[in-house]
Chains A and B, each alone.
Chain A
Amino acid sequence: MTDRYPALSRHGEPQTVTGHAPIVAPSLAPTVAPSLAPTVAGLAPIVAPSLARSPGVSPILAHHEPEAAVAFGGEGERSAERLRSDVARVAGVLPDTGDDDPREILCVATDRYHFAVALLAAWQRGHRVALPPNAQPELLRAMADDPAISLVIHDTDEMTGLDLRPLLADDIRATPAGALELAPLPALRKLVSVWTSGSTGEHQRHAKTAGQLFAEALTLAEHFGLAERGKRGAGRARVVATVPSHHIYGLLFSVLVPLVSGGSFSRETPLHAGVVRATLMQTPDAVLVSVPAHLRALRILDPGALPPLSRVFSSGAPLPPDTAKMLSSRFGLTVTEVLGSTETGGIASRLSGPELLESDDAAVHARAWSPLPHVRVKVDADGRLLVDSPFLPPDGPRPWPTADRVEMVQMVGGLGHPGPRFRHFGRVDGVVKVGGKRVALAEIERRLHAIEGVEDAAVSVVEVGGARGQETVALVVAPGLSPEHLRGELRRWLDPVVIPRRLRLVDALPREPNGKLTRRRLLEIIEGPSARIDALECRAIASEGEGPGRVAEFEVYVPRDLYCLRGHFRGAPIVPGVAQLELARSVALTQWPALGQLRAVRRLKYLRPVRPGERLRLVLDHRAEDRVDFRLLAGAEPVSVGTLSFTAGS
């Protein structure tokens, strides 16, 4: 007997599945849109009853005593009271905003506490906050110059705008601002706009309302028990995040969830295993918010080197089974994976641990996703996931068609929580994830096309093992440019993780007659055996036969992908002299094998640089038994000349 059966949706009407029913008012929860609550103060009774407080109170800091910590770390602990007063201080210097002012404030703080202060202050003054897709300096500066940005709030020397550091410095605080009572935000107000990478290649802005953000934060906090006191009574969730807070995952899990559940967060964002460990050691029963690539790197720590954690979250990409096994066997950790997107918010979760991977049935069970509370999922006839939840945009379609392909799985009996689940098979569009970072292939192509000297470009994605999961690859037509130059240009705009690792320069893209380029043809070139071109291309055009006194002529082409063009000549690729010499030697020996071996090179002159894509002429003059003069010519202009002495006759 099988433990699963395919979903009905394969054959007809979409199948609807509802997540865990909430304890209170189950009939209300999935259908009442949080936008019906006038402010976010009305959300908790609907989505997270255990977190409900008196009506009219903002969910932000609702569960913090004044002296309770909201932030901790090397830069010092901050209490809820201090946060309120810092928010008041920053809110006091922010400009007014009109009701229909479309402009946004850009927040790029590296300290998570500073980020939270900026966010709350902007919201209290009615501003919407723009969240950058990555933290590359060029992109941040371009965003800062965008007329849609009214102000930049930051805490680094690299940016201009409102620097939070002097405002929040201790000496200024000698005259404390009164603690601000946070007003509950209108549920329909748009609080942030997340600049994502759209499938068209343009950055798209997705505004999220207060209702969306706080319904999800409250739901997550309740569902994952993050508001409960720790096992040792040490307090509520203390979040350590390895991901930045300007992504929606980081914003929700490392900032908003702690703020609505009486929890706290680390001000720093540790990356290296040793730093993650040090931070966790100082944070009893921490909640670790991370991504697979960062979790995988914990491998270098000794077994048992991590303290007990109350939960580990991973999102952005599937957790590889060997990373799940390593985390379990070395540190006894089980990972809670969360599936979601900027547009839909959280959709589903699953637990990854080796005990769940032992048998086939269990593996299917473990790799399948359970909808989060209040989330309803359907599958359309094409296998596309449709979602309905309080975390969706209030003015968007319901159900929301995602770009994810899924299949329903039904488990029965003996495995804990039988119930509706689905398996996830990736995206249906040109948006891919590399190391957990989402990027549109079209955007990489657009950025490549924007580089001066690039004539054509195509980008695709290939599966690779390890931390990345998959990586981008590119074919580019760009005479005279090097892969390093192209990557350097891309790096100004794109997250380094998504920049093509394999970037091959070609003379033309292998397009079909109709101008289309198939992924298969592109990958054939990328993965083809000619991956490393060591020699110049050479074709005989004239030869006067065997032996001394003869002259032979060849057409030479410098492939754009020539291996020796890399390396020292990254910025301005030129063919090293040694490659030209090697060409002359090997061609001479092929033409006249009786020459023997090369003994000496004389009168060698490199007269001008040779660049990729050049067509040259090689003239070999076999003027003595053991001697060949070579000339490499561009038209009539000599490029390099020399005399090769061989062992023949000696």
Chain B
Amino acid sequence: MSGEAAANDSQTELERELKQLIVDALKLEDTAPEDIDSAEPLVGDGLGLDSIDILELAMAIHRRFGVKTGSDDDQNREVYNNVRSLAAFILDQKAKAG
């Protein structure tokens, strides 16, 4: 398997894990993990999360992956845009740490 394919695999796997984490951590009883589209916005008219949800999610992600959100709010907004951007951020942080 090429490195790129492996990276794609881990991205997909992580996206799946994140969707489960979002549903569990935020107790979204109306939503199943597979209902969340990786590209749909987490905040507002997508999944409809609010600022407190995002903070809760940041705590859950830190517990699970040991990854912290950065010190720049513009960047955080991009990271927390959707599941895909969040997964990419976590992979990137873990790669830097490893």
> What is the interface of chain A, defined by CB distance below 8 A to chain B?
268, 270-275, 277-278, 293-294, 296-297, 299-301, 435, 466-468, 483-484, 487-488, 491, 495-497, 499, 501-503, 531-532, 566-568
In the assembled complex, which residues on chain B have CB atoms less than 8 Å from the CB atom of A435?
50, 52
* Count, chain B residues at interface, CB 8 A: 29
B32-A491 in contact (CB<8A):
no
Q: Which of B53-91 contact A (CB under 8 A)?
A: 54-56, 58-59, 62, 68-73, 76
User: How far does the alpha carbon of A531 sit from the alpha carbon of B49 in the complex, in Å?
Assistant: 21
Selected contact of B55 from candidates A294, A301, A567, CB within 8 Å: A294
User: How far does the alpha carbon of A431 sit from the alpha carbon of B28 in the complex, in Å?
Assistant: 24
A293-B55 in contact (CB<8A):
yes
CB of B8 closer than 8 Å to a CB of A: no
- Minimum CB–CB distance for A490 against chain B, Å: 10
- Minimum CB–CB distance for B38 against chain A, Å: 13
B58-A275 in contact (CB<8A):
no
CB of B35 closer than 8 Å to a CB of A: yes
Instruction: Closest B residue to A295 by CB, please name it.
Output: B55
A-B residue pairs in contact (CB < 8 Å), sample of 28:
A268-B73, A272-B76, A273-B58, A273-B68, A274-B69, A275-B73, A277-B71, A297-B59, A299-B59, A300-B69, A435-B50, A467-B52, A468-B52, A488-B45, A488-B48, A491-B45, A496-B49, A496-B51, A497-B50, A499-B48, A501-B27, A503-B30, A532-B29, A566-B31, A567-B31, A567-B34, A567-B35, A568-B35
B51-A531 in contact (CB<8A):
no
In the assembled complex, which residues on chain B have CB atoms less than 8 Å from the CB atom of A275?
69-73, 76
Q: Which 4 A/B pairs are nearest by Cβ-Cβ distance? A: A567-B35, A496-B50, A278-B71, A297-B55
B71-A271 in contact (CB<8A):
no
- Minimum CB–CB distance for A433 against chain B, Å: 12
In the assembled complex, which residues on chain A have CB atoms less than 8 Å from the CB atom of B35?
566-568
A491-B48 in contact (CB<8A):
yes
CB of B98 closer than 8 Å to a CB of A: no
In the assembled complex, which residues on chain B have CB atoms less than 8 Å from the CB atom of A272?
54-55, 58, 69-70, 73, 76
Which residue, A274, A277, A503, A532, has most C-beta atoms of chain B within 10 A?
A: A274
User: How far does the alpha carbon of A288 sit from the alpha carbon of B89 in the complex, in Å?
Assistant: 28
Given contacts A275-B70, A491-B44, A566-B35, 15 further A-B contacts (CB under 8 A): A271-B54, A271-B55, A273-B69, A275-B69, A275-B71, A293-B55, A300-B59, A466-B56, A467-B56, A484-B48, A487-B48, A488-B45, A501-B28, A503-B30, A531-B29
A300-B32 in contact (CB<8A):
no
User: How far does the alpha carbon of A277 sit from the alpha carbon of B59 in the complex, in Å?
Assistant: 15
Instruction: Closest A residue to B66 by CB, please name it.
Output: A300
B52-A497 in contact (CB<8A):
yes
User: How far does the alpha carbon of A467 sit from the alpha carbon of B49 in the complex, in Å?
Assistant: 14
Q: Which of B8-38 contact A (CB under 8 A)?
A: 27-32, 34-35
In the assembled complex, which residues on chain A have CB atoms less than 8 Å from the CB atom of B32?
566-567
A301-B68 in contact (CB<8A):
yes
In the assembled complex, which residues on chain B have CB atoms less than 8 Å from the CB atom of A468?
52
User: How far does the alpha carbon of A496 sit from the alpha carbon of B56 in the complex, in Å?
Assistant: 14
In the assembled complex, which residues on chain B have CB atoms less than 8 Å from the CB atom of A532?
29
